[in-house]
Structure 1
Amino acid sequence: MNDKSRLSESDICDKFIRPAIERAGWNGMDQIYREYPLRAGRVVVRGRKARRDASTVLRADYALFYKLNIPLAVVEAKDASHAVGAGMAQAINYAALLDVPFSFASNGDGFIFRDATLADGVLERYLTLDQFPSPAELWAKYCAWKGWTAEVRKVAEFDYAPAKTPRYYQLNAINRTVEAIAQGRQRALLVMATGTGKTYTAFQIIWRLWKSCAKKRILFLADRNILIDQTMVNDFRPFKGAMAKLSPNAKGVERVDAQGRVGVEDVTLAVNRTTKQVDTSYEIYLSLYQAVTGTSDESNIYKQFSPDFFDLIIVDECHRGSAAEDSSWREILSYFSSATQVGLTATPKETQDVSNSDYFGEPIYTYSLKQGIEDGYLAPYKVVRIDLDRDTFGWRPTEGMTDKLGNLIEDRVYTGADMNRRLVLERRDEVVAAKITEYLKATDREAKTIVFCEDIDHAARMRQALSNANADICQTQPRYVVQITGDNPEGKRELDNFIDPEKTYPVIATTSKLMSTGVDAQTCKLIVLDQNIKSMTLFKQIIGRGTRLREDLGKTWFTILDFKRATELFADKDFDGEPVQVYEPKGDEPVEPPEVADPGDPAGQPDAGEEGAGDPPTGTDPPLGPFGGGDDAPPRKYVIGGQVNVQVARERVQYLNADGKLVTESLRDYTRINLAKRFDSLDQFLQTWNSAERKAVLIDELERQGVFLDALADEVGKDLDPFDLLLHVAYDQPPLTRRERARRVKQRNVFTDYGPMARKVIDALLDKYADEGIATIEGQSVFNVQPFNQFGSATEIIKSFGGRPQYLQALNILERELYAPAHS
């Protein structure tokens, strides 16, 4: 028998834990998963760069599955220096994520088994290596705990489609929904943040219910054509042959195959183009809800089906249409009232008059934006808030002032709530366009950008203003900026190109409501808010346009550029995802604009005429056009040219702390307060810094706790080491630059006892520190870059010190000298 004390945790797994599991009858091919991924690791934004925080990556040492993608238990391993149950806390955490009741911990001597079903009346017990339970034993306990009948088991244990492996939260959403429906539940609601795979989740739910014959005819409803078409050729592709689209019109859908070849795939239609008759021989139908409803009976295609034809209906993005009792969606759901109905949404609608949970019931499963960001499956974001002077302080016309069309302007104070709704300042459009362009020039001019405007007229003006601001590109590339709104067929045709990661143009899309949902803009890096947004539902949908991660294409985070203070909704208790950092105008605290009565506010409603507009809002202004409402009626908007100047009001920076709360103190005061919580005194800070084996680790820890080093460096405006930055800002100590610290060490001649090559390496390390900082010289790859790669291999460099221990000792002395007090 091997001496276990000499074995690593991995060796313990291979030699003792896995063999014990396999002896119990678990199949190593499809039931035992080593290093099972749970959380990918949060993406952390530092300045303009992002990386995954390795400390937030979660993997279960073993995840045990009864059948493909039906998890039962987790096993957490430790080496022999730990007690047998040392990993139980981790195992319980991982089991909670996978929604399973069985947890095991082991050090190779045996197992601690935690059975949350209490099937034998005991929560935790010790098992020898030969007592590990079999798959059948755990599955029987699991089913008894769930209270499943034989009929329920037949559906609940049915295999997944052999597609990509679901993430843990998708497994939970799928399994809970299938279980609930198998048990007879007729209404179900799934709440999953945008970008977390709602359509793939819906596919697996349908697959398992359809293949198990629990449901035989299925209807999938959505409110965007692109959602239907892309769904049919992507996630729902395995249904081909049994699936059709309920529409008399369709076009081929561009699709990229596994080899990267682009082709056009036809979408099968279930409606005869000429007779408008429905072919009822298919089993799975997908439909744009507007395509099957209308004011006349012949437009209501769904009535060609008998009310009991469908036994399962999936409603995508159900927060908009289906929640209201008099909506077209609810009309369809009521007609097929005998069918099981599942709602999918990122933002459940809860108002005084409308509630999704009232119709579908409380969510079966919720996976929020905050969870997605924490897990590393959604992109984090930072917010740049810009207050314009006319929005913040208001504007009042002079007596008798008229607009561009000669209309007498009503004498009152116009504030941010009026801009682009009651008042158009053309100079304001230019300033907004200039700030957007300034940001893109400073970052990436090809970064996909969506500008959310007040209405279609505003979107058209912003397209022109942005084209002028980017004339150097637009002169030869007119599609650099496009307007994508419901009244603009040319722009709508560019939507597919905008969301296609392989297409460079368009780069900037100006819109109103059309692109607020159902647009899978995977590489969108900039969301611009120049729209009054009062609806939390709409706000979450807009933010969701940027949350998809595409690390392979360089999309790891995104920015929200806010001109309307809409991002104050982040502070609302109903919003659960915090930005990484918030930049706000500098200067005095912003003045809160007074509330202005706004009858007929269509906030949250799609523009009339846009695809997916749904039911028109009541009480809104009549569609009289942007500039006038007839000979006697006042204009809907006053339009004023360049004689009214508009400027950025302030540039004050605000941030969110580690708990996601907005920091109200100045950045310097907040840093002092934050460090005071971590260190009792300056001496303790110095002691902690000097005793840290690797300074970069301490720096990472401080940043995770909410110390904004990049922002501090920008504010102080000097090339300082994090050590000097914190000493200066938090403890009022005079700072030294990195170059000054490096020069001091060289002047002391500390390393005269080292050989010529070692001294040459130390001098180069000091130069590298002066240029790039402490983290660079502590990094393992420092010897792979110039000038070190000219000295020889890393092995040869380390040998010049006598070996690795001697090199690390020299590096420790170098760091001690770098941070020695100035008088020493």
Structure 2
Amino acid sequence: MSNKEATARIKINRLLEAASWHFFADGNSPANIQLEPGVTIKTADLDELGENFEKSSKGFIDFLLLNEKGFPFIVLEAKAEDKNPLVGKEQARKYSRSQNCRFIILSNGNLHYFWDLERGNPYIITAFPTPTSVIGYQKTVPDPVRLISETVLDDYIVLTQRPSYVTEAAWKNEAERQGFIDVNGLRFLRSYQRKAIYALQSGVKDGKDRFLFEMATGTGKTLTSAAVIKLFLGTGNACRVLFLVDRLELEDQAKKAFRKVLANDYRTVIYKENRDDWRRAEIVVTTVQSLLFNNKYRQLFSPTDFDLVISDEAHRSIGGNARAVFDYFIGYKLGLTATPRDYLKKFDKAKPSTKDQRDLECRLLLDTYRTFGCDDGQPTFRYSLLDGVKDGFLINPTVVDARSEITTQLLSEDGFIVEFKDEQGDDQKGTFKQREFEKRFFSDATNQLFCKTFLEHAYRDPVSGEIGKSIIFAVSQNHAARLAQILNLMADVMFPGKYRSDFAVQVTSQIPDAQQFTINFTNNNLLGCANFLPTYKTSKARVCVTVGMMTTGYDCPDLLNLGLFRPIFSPTDFIQIKGRGTRKHNFIEQLFDKDIEEVIKESQKVSYKLFDFFANCEYFEEEFNYDEVLKLPKPKGRISGDTEGGEGASQSEAYEHLGADIISTIREETIGCEGMKIDRMFYEKFEDTLRENATIVEAVEAGQWDRVIDYVNREVFDKPSEFFTLDKLRKVAAVDRRLGLREILEKIFGLIPRFKSKDELLEEEFSKFVADYKPEEVEAIPALKNYFKAYITSNQVRHIIETKHYTDLATNAVFSTRDFRAVPDQYRTLIPNYIKDYVPLNQFAA
């Protein structure tokens, strides 16, 4: 046996043991691995294998894995490290048939395939499946013909909700029918939702197992998913489904939606709430982040635990390292996205620019299409906002151009260069200068101008006449707080006695119960209701000021105004924010007094206003024609009073407001300095401080890491009493790389047992790369890994590669010319681009 064969066997042995396969009996668990000397294949079984396979009188199975009864279960064909595992495919097929095994694993120790002979082609895996998982997986014998031929009509979901609905008197009586539907919450599929199912069935007929639905916000992606889930479970092509979401609050939303329509036939659970009995459910919902954390998906699940994996908001939930979670599971895959492929039209794949957010997201969008088997950039099914408006299901916005001279100047001269702190606590650059916005361009006068313009031109509620329910998107949490304060002061002037600082509410991660605020806003009881009409149910709070919490998956159909008080450069964010207002609504449904109904002239929501203070629409749409253009007053000069400090911040703009000036009574409170810092810190004291803080403990338990990190930065770091700093915490931890604040917090609260070394993280990142790109040049994997690690850890290597001064590698101690030549040509550019997009380099710094 060669060294490469021996090394492959050692790695395979470890992978088997990690997946709970046993070479020897362990307590009550019998051995379930039989090695090659114990199993032979007759020569007759090898007659058809040809000259490329073994020619001896007897062939041997490398590893035969046994089921719980000791019968042959899985054939594992092992190859040397320098051989592609697929070369043993036909050999393994013959072995499998001779042992009556349905499953095969092909591996060379670095690259592995799982092959279900009942399903089709070998599927790349990053870990071996457990015995329990494959036993459960075996119960599902796929029948694509049944799935393809299943009839899906508009009542496909209703037949699960109320199977005998057509025989009930209230249904038969046409006058009572709509009331019957509403009372029982019956969900009929729309024509385009059925077309999405038909497109998927057609894809299965063509042999595909990956699909992508591109559907505009508000078109019922979750209901369409429920129909897909019923299709797979009902036809026996799936035993269990995993539904991945990208935010914590969407877990509960998805669970409730599936229970509402599928509860009579299938059980839905959130994984973290049912860790011990999730296997009893057919539908398991979880966030992709919770699985990605500390590679939990490898510990919690086996690759064969789910037959269908659905990724909600696919463009976000499979981005970066999260794709490793998605690719870990075998079987059918469905992605859902609202981001249209139109944003690919200006993207040059040959010359991608990682500096431009639009180009970066276009690259991710291309990867999304590729991940779901749509290499040509065409989704399996598409239903756009324009389609929804044309068919009468959605409404278009009235877009208001409300640029001031300040924002116009900023747009043309400064170009929005981002500066912010990432989760590692380090300064980063990206899209716009957040601090400069708050100090210079978002002076009090500018903020007041924006708020005044918004309130004076916002759509009013058609029933009560108050300002329509609105969401405003701010630059930062600090900016959100200032906007909410200004709006509340203005509301007191506009509506005397109606509001007591409850007109506008800050809804950001640093606000306790912020998520509940969003729910209450939807349910029309945020800070109370019926402020204008006692018989009309609408939220007393009229405006939620947020940063990013209410962008995706938030459903509030009676929204009438959206305010973009910041520039947006992400196509995904722009589409999602715009989509918050597209749902139709009849405001009469909220009215309890039938007499008033007669005097309401127009109760249907026919449009919503999108206030664009930063030409966002022009950024995404060439030569955009605004529906409404507001000429904001020019600044008449500068006034003192800006206390933020910094260059250009000592003065702010003053505006000549026309007509009644509703902001004349506004005052600003000045906040003083924090005081001298004390240069001392103890790690143990820091741990105690955090563990004793109820706010931090609550946020950690809820997984609200943005809130935790923001709170620690604001309320714990740099205080005179202790002077805790991130730099000092890093020094005390004594790890060979740069720790991030979140990682330190996870260690303190016992979520990770220890800090991983630099090399451990490098190994993990490279494994994700292999799972994503599945290199066919198996013999080159060691060279790829060497290149991957060197590019991440060495500034000098990165500079040489970026400048293409390859001759400098001859004297480089980390990565030599010989090392570079060993890397196949296509990976010399691919690996750097992958690292730029998906691997945060800060954590590997010393």
TM-score w.r.t. length of structure 1: 0.45
Judging by fraction of residues, say which structure has more helix: 2
